[in-house]
Structure 1
C-alpha cells in the first residue's frame, strides 16, 4: 500500500511540474533570427521524464504591440507589465540595430532591470548585450556580442570584460552570445543544463543543427575568413579541394598545378591575396579539420593526425601550439561536447 502511494505521489509530482518560463524582451528593429532561433529551441525542448514541454515562452515589449523587425515580418508581443510579478526562469534580450536606441531609453532599461530581478537566468543574443550593459547587468562580468559590436561594447562600457571570440559566455547567471545563430547555441546549452543533454540533442536533431557547439568555440568561421580574403574567388575551388584531400601530397608544386600556375607565380599570388604562404594555409586547414574532429568525435588523436595529413601526433601538436596555443589533448578536454 505504501509503495503504491509512493509511486502515485511520484507520478503526480512529475505531472505537476510547471514549464520553465522564458521571456523574450524585444524592441523595434530587432534581428528576427535573434528571436525566432532561440524561441524555436525552447519551444521544442521536452522534459525527458514526462515528454512534456520544458518551457513556456512569451515575447514581451514595452507597449505589447506589433514590433518591427529587420525583415518584412513584424512580431506580436505582450506588455512587460504582465510579467513584472512573475517568476521568470530565463530572460532573453535579443539584438538588432534597435539596440543602439534601446540602450539609451531610460524607461526601457528600467523594464529590463525589473524583469532581470525576477529571472533566475539573464541572457542576451547578439547586440542585446549592449542593452544588458546599459542596464548595469554586465558590470565586472565577462561578455561577448557579435564581433562587429565588440569594440563598441568595450569602449562604451569599460567595466565589462569583453571577449571577441567565443560563441557564448556564461558568467554566473548571466549568459551572453555572439551574433544570429549563436543564440541557438546558447539556447541549446541552456536546455542541456536544465533538461539534460538528451533533451538538447533531440531539439538539435529535429532542427538539423550541430549539437552542441561549445561556448568556447570561435564565432569566426575560418572558411568564411578565406572567402573574405579571396575576393575574386580565384582560390575557392582549391580550398574546397584541399579540405577533401588533406592526406595527399600538398607541396606548393602540387597546389600550383591545380590552378594551372607555375609554383613561383602561384606562391607569390597566393601569399599576396591570402596573407600567408601556401604551406601555412595547408597547415591551417589541417588544424581546422583536426579541431572539428576533436570537438565532435571520440577518434584517437593519433588517428586524427593521420586523417588530417599531419602524419604523426607530434607534428599535429606543434601546429596546434603554434596556431591555437594549446595541445590537442588539452583542446579536446576543454572544448569537446560533454
Structure 2
C-alpha cells in the first residue's frame, strides 16, 4: 500500500513527548517563543525556542539529528491542545476544496508559530491541502482559540475573565484588547461571507420580541428564527413595537433567506397581524399558539433566554448603535460557530447546507 494512504501512527519520540506533557510540571513557558522542557530523569531542563519557522531544542538528540526530539514534540502537542480538545466536542465534516470529495486521508501537520494545522490528501483529485475555516483563515493566532474566545464572550463572560481563562487553561497570554480585536475581526469576516450567500431557510419561521434595557431605557429586540435549521435570520433592536418595526424586521429576514416561508408563528402582538395581513407573499400567519398546540413559539422564546443571558454580563448597554452591533455579532456567531444539540452537534449553517444537499438529491 502506498505510504500516503497508510494510517499515520505516532513515532516513539512523539509518544515520549506526549508522555512529558501528560505528566504535568514538565514544561515552563518563558514567552510566546520559548519554553523550558524537563528531561525524563528530572535532572536537566532543555530550552525549546522558535527560530527560522521551526521549533529548535538544545538537547543532544536534536543537535545530532536536526529533527524534532521528544521535547519539541511535547511543545507541538501543547500548541495543538486547544484544537485537540475542541475537535472532540464539535463534529466537523472536512471536504476537499478542489473537488468537494470527502474521501480524504490525513497527511501530517503544518507547523505554524502558534499552532499546528492538519493537512489532508484527497484520494479523488490528489489535492494536498490544509484544513482551514474560511472565516478564521489568515487570522493571527490559533483559530480554535479565537473561536473558543468568541464562544465564551457570547455566552456572557467578560473580556478579562476570558483573558484569565486562556492563561490558566491553555497557557496563552492574550490581553483583553487582543481578545476584543479577535471577536471584532471574526464578526467582520463572517458578516462579509454572509453577504455573498443567501440563507437556505425552511418553511416555518418563528418571530418574537423581548425587552432589552439600553442605558436604562427599555428597547425591543426582534428575533426571526427558522424552525428547521435554527438559523437566526434577523435580530434587530428598535425603540418601539409598531407595525412598521415588525415590517422592517420581516423584510430583512426575507432579504437574507433564499425564499419566503410558508408559515410564520408569532405571539398575539397586533403589529404582526397588521403587517402579515397586508403582504403579497401568501404566508400563513399562526398567531398566539398555546403551549399545548402542535406548533408553539417556544423555539424563539428559548432563544430570547440565550440572548438575555449574554446581556447580564454587562454592567449596562451604552447606546442603541453599539447594542445593535453586539446583537448582530451574536446572530452571526449563533448561526456559524455555535453547535446545537438538536442539530446533532452541527451549527445552523452546517445544518442548512446538509438540508440543501438532501433536497438536491431528491
- TM-score above 0.5: no
Greater radius of gyration (CA): 2
More helix, by proportion: 1
Q: TM-score, normalised by structure 1?
A: 0.28
More strand, by proportion: 2
Q: TM-score, normalised by structure 2?
A: 0.27
